[in-house]
Structure 1
Amino acid sequence: MGCLVSTPSDSGGTRRRPANVGEIVVFVPGLRIPKSSDFSPLQPEGLSSDLIQRLSALQTGIVLLADQEMQTASKSKKKTATRHGGSTQADLQQPLQPYLSMLLGLVNDGNRLEHLVEFVWVNQEDDTEKTGMSSAWYEVLSVLHFMAMLSLSEANALLLPKTTTDGYQPKISEDSKRNSVDIFLKAAGYLDCAIQNVIPRLPPDVRKNLPVDLTEEVLNALCLQALGQGAYIQLGMAIDSAKATLAVKRRLACEMVKYWQQAQENIMNVSLASYWGDKHRLFIKWKYAEAKAAAYYFHGLILDETNTEKSHAMAVAALQAAEEFLNESKKASEQFSMAPPQSSRNPPLWGATKYLYERIPKDASCRARTNNELHSGHENFTEKAPPLPDFPVALKPDDFSLPSPDASWNLKGNMRKEQIGETRSQF
């Protein structure tokens, strides 16, 4: 079906080591950006020149904006504000849905046009990672992935602490936190649509040769990551709220554990022999450990409210587990920061992370000391960490559906008159 795959291993090129990527709150793999396609193979198929030109113009606009974003990022010493989240990012989102509508016309005619045009994408951070395929469904999948990564980039820009005019420590506004949750759900919606509605429609040879960034397992991991980070923001807001109970905080933390556990299960099944792949695994490892630290911490506090000897011992065990997972998350965070491509520095602690770093060691030590005093002279009062409660997850991906093919895809209206006559004469 005209499938072409070009990767560093088969092109023989020397792979360029990605540069420093700036501050990271939300992990975004190196963006895959499109290259211009040759749409001339569509001309003999009876499509009007206007339709072909429109399809080409939409893609060209996206390519130019993506190249502009890449050039701006490469010149910026502090890349985070421009790369993955600058003004170009908003401009890039605008033409992508109209382009999707035009693309879907290529797959809406019994696959007659699906394999006529080759679509090529390259990795923004490493241009030897290049994949071209003659499949319109591959292009639809790539566009949905691109939309999701741009959304995650936007969330990263929102969640970097900003310096305030009053001279206080950099902080994140409440509006930015709330908006980031909506953006996480939107990104998850794009990825869920790709998994449910596009991957199953790919021809077997295309699906087999997909770049690792577009495999179902990686898309699932990214979708779950977006939901997990949305739950993290909600937990941080609950911690800051005087009205939120311990039960609410524990539930949010336990939901985080589920998202990150599933993300890790997906990413561990993929061979990610790349800098970005290794860094992605470390990010999920870090956030999974952090989620377990939060869940065991709030679970321990709730257990400690029950005034029995056994519940106090279980609370101590839960808080000790929280401290162990917190230390594990700190180690994974350092590994993530140092793994190539390196982050310039870790952003200042904020939100739930700052709270957990401050409270878990103190409360774990205090409860353990109190428990030892209460059980002085007794043996075998130490408990294993109790199981966490099992709550159904609340955050779901936004309901994003593939748009209908653009109205200009009317076969009769787009077939040249002379070709209609030739078609009729054949019968």
Structure 2
Amino acid sequence: MDRKNLVIVGGGSTYTLGIVMSLIEEKANFPLKSITFYDIDAERQEKIAKAAAIMLEEHYPELEQFNYTTDKAAAFKNIDTAFIQIRTGGLAMRELDEQIPIKHGAIGQETSGAGGMAYGLRSIKDMTELIRDIRQYSKDAWILNYTNPAAIVGLALKREFPEDNRILNICDMPIAIMKSYADLLDKDVWELVPEYFGLNHFGWFSKILDEEGNDLTQELKGKIINGDFIPTDKEIANDESWIQTFRKARQMLIDFPEFLPNTYLQYYLYPDDLAKKESPDNTRARQVINGREKRVHELCDHIVAQQTTKDIHVESDIHGVYMIRAAASLIFNLKETFIVMVENNGVIANLPNDALVEVPAMLTNNGPKAFAVGDIPTFYKGLIENQHASEKLIVEAYYEKSYTKLQQAMTLNRTIVHAPKAKAILDDLIEANKDYWPEFK
């Protein structure tokens, strides 16, 4: 395999160290010549990059070059692939995304409901500019985008770049859920073959098979319903919020036993229950600031102070490995199957063709080749069409600067529903995002 050049956009992310460790573990499958970090926040990126440089020097001596920069030309010239993980407005704006809906008695969550709309509207402009910049310097690079909310961002990118077939929108939540499935079944996660359908953060596993084609679905459902269901991916296994989220997925399966749900469906199926538990003084953003961000930054400081990782435990994560193996399949034409987002075009036969659906697809050097799902049952079709309509209206509102369409999108969303509540939340979010959003008429 030829060694490739990779840029990680959002190099200052607290997830970047895990990706670097994953790149080290996966170097035989995805050999690299160079790694570059790019971020607009030089100080935040430098903290991560200095620790990453020591990790790479010790564990990836084959790597010819590691750089970090805020210069687009230096970052994007002559790359083979880009991983994009940006957060426009940072964690400060995420906290407002969560606090404002909570104040009005709705769910405050960064990718779902009103918070997801706010984050998505901020992301569109920066993501569009990033793709244009990358294409200016590397017209054939594969771009793997996992910037949230991926459904809104993906619809906007499809609108902006309809002919660019080297942009792949991908999410790690299905594989994180499958990690828990694998541990329940005493299997390696990569031995499982999922059948899945839906939208990003809004889907269901219809079957879980093994590599020999044996159907493990009923056994898995029984283990979840009759036991406990908790996260086992190392990044989230000890996080109380994620523990409660996975246990809610067990309740979803009890209530709707036909298919195995994505954990994010809790926000849409039990919005009133979850909203009652929310506190504007203890948002998920605040938990991340005081938890993962603090922990990762302290780890970086420790690595830099010691100038070694020999007595420091840095782990890869399923998130990073999933992105890396997907990229390898695209670049080296491995034809492996991953759950990714693709334009529907009949994949789910009874959903709109323009929906950005999340389904298993074979990843080739000509892009994803999705496997047909066929018709889905009425209950799931109705839920998905409602969610797709809300997300489509958000993107249309952005380009048309339409207040009306945003209000419609918010009212459609199952986490809000009540029209006066939707308007009140929207007006507060507009004020909070006046430096990021277009002016809506």
TM-score, normalised to structure 2, is 0.24
Q: Higher helix proportion, which one? A: 1
Highest Rg: 1 or 2? 1
Q: Higher strand proportion, which one? A: 2
TM-score, normalised to structure 1, is 0.25
